[in-house]
Amino acid sequence: MDITEILKKGVEMHASDIFIVAGATLTIRKDGEIQSVSDTKLTADDTRQLLIGIYELAENRDRTLLKKDGDDDFSFHISGLSRFRVSAYKQRGSYSAVIRIVAFELPDPARLGIPESVIRTGAERRGMVLVTGPAGSGKTTTLACIIDAINMQRNAHIITLEDPIEYLHRHKNSIVSQREIRSDSNSYLTALRASLRQSPDVILLGEMRDYETISVAMTAAETGHLIFSTLHTMGAANTINRIIDVFPANQQRQIAVQLSTVLMTVISQQLVPSVDGGRIPAFEIMTVNPAIRNMIRDNKIYQINGVIYGSATEEMVSMDNSLFSLYEAGKITRQTALDCATNPEMLERRMKE
C-alpha cells in the first residue's frame, strides 16, 4: 500500500481527512461523514510503513518527537496534488495519523458561503478579532480568506503563527511572514512576543491556549496591532467568558476591562449539512459596539446574546438567524436548522409564522 496513492485517492474523492489507524480499514471523512475506502484492516506494521512514507514526503522529517512524545503535527505538500496537514500519534502501541487535505489555492469566500461582513473584519486597523467554533468547523479557512483580503487590499506586514501552516500566502500588496510553531519557533507565546519586534501590522495567532498568550495578544491589540485568533468555543458570550475565566480570580476584573477596549468582533461558525449533500457554514457575528463594551466591562455578559438575537444588521447576526436565512434560501432543511439551532423552540415558532 503506497502512501502517495492513498493521498491521491483522498484528493480525487474530495475528502477532508484521511484516517490511518491500526485495526481499522483505510477511512476518509467526506462532507462530515466517515466512510471506509478499503476492505482490509490495517495492521500495526502497515501503519508504521505508511507513517515512514509520510515523514519521507515531508522532506524526511525527524521522527524523534513522535517516538518521544507520542504526538507530532506538521504539514507538507506534493506538487500538482495538494497540501496536507498531519497529526501523527501513537495509539495502543502502534502508529496512526489523521491527514487533513488542504487545497493549494486559497478558497473563494463567496463560493464557500462566508459573508462579506466577515471578510470586512480585516479592514480594522487595531484590536482583536476572534473566530470560534468546534474543531473542523472551518475556522482556519475563514481566517485564510480574511488574511488574503488584507494581503490584496493593504500595504502591511502580516505575521501568521500557525501549528502547522495550512494555507500558503503569496506576497501581494503586503508582506506575509508565515511561521510554524515547533519548526520556526518553540511556542505560540515565544513567537508572539518575538513578532512584536518584527514591525507587524497584522498578527494571526493560530490559537490562544493559555492566559499568558492571551495576555500578550491583548496587549498587542491594545498597542495598535490587529490580532486575529481562534478559540474552541461557540457563541460570543461563551467566548468572552472563556477568556476571562482563564485568568486568576484576582485578575479577572482587570482583564474584563482590557478586553472591553480591544475586542472588535467575535465570529462563531459551524458547518451544517446542506441539501446537496455537502456542508455549508452558518455564522454568528458579534461586532462590538459601545453597549456591548459596557456589558463586558460591567460583567453583564449574559445580556449579549439578547443584543445579538434582536439585531437586524449584517454586522450583528445570531446563529439562529443565520440558520433561518439558509433554510429560507433552500440551502438546508428545516430539520437541519432546528438540530443546529441555539434556541430550536424559538426558531421553530419563527418558521411557522
Q: What is the CATH number of the domain that holds 51?
A: 3.30.450.90
In the chain, which stretches have pLDDT less than 70?
none
Q: What is the pLDDT of residue 329?
A: 96
- Do both 66 and 136 map to the same domain? no
Reference 266, options 243, 240, 247, 246; nearest CA is 240
Compute the distance between CA of residue 133 and CA of residue 107 in angstroms, rounded to an integer.
19
Q: What is the pLDDT of residue 352?
A: 85
- Do both 309 and 182 map to the same domain? yes
- Do both 86 and 147 map to the same domain? no
- Do both 192 and 225 map to the same domain? yes
Question: What SS3 string covers 201-235?
Answer: CEEEECCCCCHHHHHHHHHHHHCCCEEEEEECCCC
Q: What is the pLDDT of residue 103?
A: 81
- Do both 122 and 221 map to the same domain? yes
- Do both 194 and 284 map to the same domain? yes
Q: Tell me how many domains the chain contains.
A: 2
Compute the distance between CA of residue 188 and CA of residue 135 in angstroms, rounded to an integer.
19
- Do both 37 and 158 map to the same domain? no
- Do both 40 and 147 map to the same domain? no
Q: What is the pLDDT of residue 272?
A: 96
- Do both 167 and 311 map to the same domain? yes
- Do both 98 and 227 map to the same domain? no
- Do both 35 and 154 map to the same domain? no
- Do both 76 and 124 map to the same domain? no
Of 86, 102, 118, the last residue of a domain is 102
CATH number at 289 reads: 3.40.50.300
**pTM attached to this predicted model:** 0.88
The domain in which residue 119 lies consists of 109-352
Q: What is the pLDDT of residue 81?
A: 93
Q: What is the pLDDT of residue 69?
A: 92
Q: What is the pLDDT of residue 300?
A: 97
Whether the upstream peptide bond of residue 164 has omega within 30° of 0, thus cis, is yes
Angle between helices 211-222 and 188-195 (to 10 degrees): 20
